[in-house]
Chains A and B, each alone.
Chain A
Amino acid sequence: MTYEVFAVLAIFAPLLGAGVVPLVGLASRRARDVTAIAFGLVTAVATLLTLLAVGPDPVRVYAWIPILGVGFDLRVDALGAFIAAIAGTIGFLVVVYSLAYMRHAEEEGYSLSRYYALVLLFIGAMIGLGLSDSLLAFYIFWETVGLCSFALISFYHRDAKARRAGLKAFAVTRVGDIGLLVALVALWSAGGVVTFSGLDAAGIPRDILGLAAFGFLLAAIGKSAQVPLHVWLPDAMEAPTTISALIHAATMVNAGVYLVARTFPALEALGWWPQALLWIGSITALVAALSAYAEPDLKRVLAYSTVSQLGYMVAAVGAGAILASQFHLLSQAIFKALLFLAAGAVIQAVGTRDMYGMGGLRTKMPLASNAFLVGVLAMVGIPLFNGFWSKELLLDAVLEHGFLAPFLLLVVTTFVTAAYSWRAYWLVFHGTPRFAGAARDAPRPMSAVLVILTGAAATSWLLLGPYSETMAATMPAYPVEPLGLIAAGVAILRWPSGLVPLAVAGLSAYFVFRYGPRFERRLREGSAYARLVRSGFLLDAMYNALARRLADSAQRLRSTQTGDLNINVAGVLGGIVVIVVVLLLGVV
């Protein structure tokens, strides 16, 4: 019995659920909720069982479009299977959390059938994205997650901000997807390559490979919100917080990192590729961290934080540290989801996302406070939590491979990361309580999920050994070695790569608690720094100006539609003349 059947089940069960849930929802809300949970659970189990099916070889599941030579192929190796498992399990946890969290939305007239259908569709597409070997299937899943992301960002469709944010996210990521499209057709056309496995095999002309690499890079930058296409992610926080946790922290945004990791063996031969990843990653990490510090909106802080952490991962791939980047992906998925869901509980209790309207909530919402604290400790990189291990491994790998400048950028980023994390924790849960009303900890389903994620953040690092072994066994083309915890610990505690970040974290805590309040005042008064951040380091401002220019020129073009018959026919005559002249000029 082959275990591949679990892989197929993992992809198609949630897709089926996306169709079934709205139908059930026509009959009964209760039944719909139960159905959603059921599909989520089946999917989660299927993705975990898929881990049993890992192997280095691709599998043809279905001869999909024989006339084009395109099949539906899966590749169940560690890289993809872990992405799938994350999507499945965290997806399930989010569905459980949504039962209580989204109840208010139903009362306000938003359709939860649509919500659960989109979430399940998303989960299925994300799993398909991770497990696909066929490039066309990968593209379709990639676009589908983008479509779901857009639809879920604008879920609160009565809010114009949400609609705009959804369209912006869709448009920006689709610009990146142009790159994926070009890469896809270039490889298909010039090399006859229609699968990732085919890409690994040698023999593609170098200029085509370069074009494809550029395309993949562009797509990854868009999807993983790297500079300069990062502008959509902070605005995407208009989505329900469950969606921010699932899509914009744990899964979809990791797709870009997954893509660059997946294509690494084939593209690393192009000298500029790893360099580009390193620099884009580390610069993004720093810029995003700096932006996070200036934000008053709790979710936007977390959004920028996600961008920054993704920068770490991209840089790690550039340094060839595939294991470190993927292990950090796992850690980040867990602790970022934890942070978002804890934030969600707080935001729902308090009614605002503005951190200046919170404060002192530690006493009123102890569970959320502790959960958030664990997330912060993991993100800052305190030993005993998963973030410590993965981040240290990552920094160590970057330095090991000899990339000093990016390493320094990442270390500075660690300082800022810790700073904004302490700041967020302090503003929300400590300090003077600015929120007057009553706030209680979240209902049982939500709190249960928080507890589970807290446990995961504290323990997922223990999986390093089996994780790295599975990777090494199923991904022969990639530079991964099995790494046990003892060996990892020894490597990390080596100076400077191991201890510098620890010291930096402590230093930043001091900075925040000592100078924080003064800095906050200046931020609130609108310092130059705050203004720079608000304009997205000028990029957002630039894009908005570009969009306005386009809209204006479109408006002016309307004057060509005069309504005057003479002018219309004159246009025809002019066209004939121009065409004949052009052809005559071109004729040899």
Chain B
Amino acid sequence: MADGFLALNLGFAMALFALGLFAVVAKESLIRILLGIEVMGKGVTLAFVTAGYALDQLGTAQAFVFTIIVIEVVVTAIALAIMIRLQHATGRLDIRAMRRLAG
């Protein structure tokens, strides 16, 4: 039963990760892409928590998760800062407006 529980959790983690990755691959709105990255992050933290539970190392796992969240916050902040500038420059947050650099 415990194994099944773990498998379910890991499965959810993978699913979240895949969902987030899908958003980054398929969506054209920068906001959606950023949210996709966030969701991926959640999937990864769920995986860590599950691992901590399975290994009875919840303390360590919590430390990992907090660190990951902090990193994520910083990255999001930077991403948003750039996005604000992009909004100023192009009037929208769409990757179709960001295709000047190619080849």
Contact = CB atoms under 8 A, between A and B. Distances in A.
B26 A563 contact: no
A573 B21 contact: yes
B103 to A, nearest CB: 5
23 contacts: A558-B103, A559-B103, A561-B103, A562-B99, A562-B102, A563-B98, A563-B99, A563-B102, A564-B95, A565-B24, A565-B33, A565-B98, A566-B24, A566-B25, A566-B27, A566-B28, A566-B95, A569-B21, A569-B24, A569-B25, A570-B25, A573-B21, A573-B25
A121 to B, nearest CB: 39
A564 B98 CA distance: 8
A571 to B, nearest CB: 9
A564 B26 CA distance: 11
Contacts of B95: 564-566
Interface string B67-103: 0000000000000000000000000000100111111
Contacts of B102: 561-563
A346 B95 CA distance: 66
A565 B100 CA distance: 12
Contacts of B28: 566
Contacts, number: 30
Contacts of A570: 25
B79 to A, nearest CB: 12
A563 B25 contact: no
A559 B102 CA distance: 8
A558 B102 CA distance: 8
Contacts of B99: 562-564
A562 B27 CA distance: 16
Interface of A: 558-559, 561-566, 569-570, 573
A48 B26 CA distance: 75
A66 B21 CA distance: 52
Given A561-B103, A566-B26, 15 more contacts: A558-B103, A559-B103, A562-B99, A562-B102, A563-B98, A563-B102, A563-B103, A564-B95, A564-B99, A565-B24, A565-B95, A566-B95, A569-B24, A570-B25, A573-B21
A198 B68 CA distance: 58
B33 A563 contact: no
A563 B21 contact: no
B101 A563 contact: yes
Contacts of A559: 103
A42 B99 CA distance: 63
A565 to B, nearest CB: 5
A159 B101 CA distance: 34
A559 B103 CA distance: 6
Contacts of B98: 563, 565
Report which residue of A558, A562, A566 has the largest number of chain B beta carbons within 10 angstroms of its beta carbon: A566
Report which residue of A558, A563, A564, A565 has the largest number of chain B beta carbons within 10 angstroms of its beta carbon: A565
A570 B24 CA distance: 8
**Considering the complex of A and B, which 5 residue pairs feature the smallest CB-CB distances, nearest first?**
A563-B102, A563-B99, A558-B103, A565-B95, A570-B25
Contacts of B21: 569, 573
A562 B101 CA distance: 8
A573 B25 CA distance: 8
A247 to B, nearest CB: 39
Nearest to A564: B99
Contacts of B26: 566
A570 B102 CA distance: 16
Interface in B23-78: 24-28, 33
Contacts of A558: 103
A393 B25 CA distance: 75
Contacts of A562: 99, 102
A450 to B, nearest CB: 55
Report which residue of B24, B98, B101 has the largest number of chain A beta carbons within 10 angstroms of its beta carbon: B24
Nearest to A565: B95
Nearest to B24: A569
B102 to A, nearest CB: 3
Nearest to B102: A563
Contacts of A563: 98-103
A573 B21 CA distance: 8
A556 B58 CA distance: 52
Contacts of A565: 24, 33, 95, 98
A552 B98 CA distance: 27
Nearest to A555: B103
Nearest to B98: A565
A558 B98 CA distance: 18
A351 to B, nearest CB: 45
A570 B27 CA distance: 11
A562 B21 CA distance: 19
Nearest to B33: A565
Contacts of A573: 21, 25
A561 B102 CA distance: 6
Contacts of A569: 21, 24-25
A392 to B, nearest CB: 62
A83 B73 CA distance: 70
Nearest to B99: A563
Contacts of B100: 563
Nearest to A563: B102
Contacts of B24: 565-566, 569
B34 to A, nearest CB: 12
A205 to B, nearest CB: 49
B92 to A, nearest CB: 14
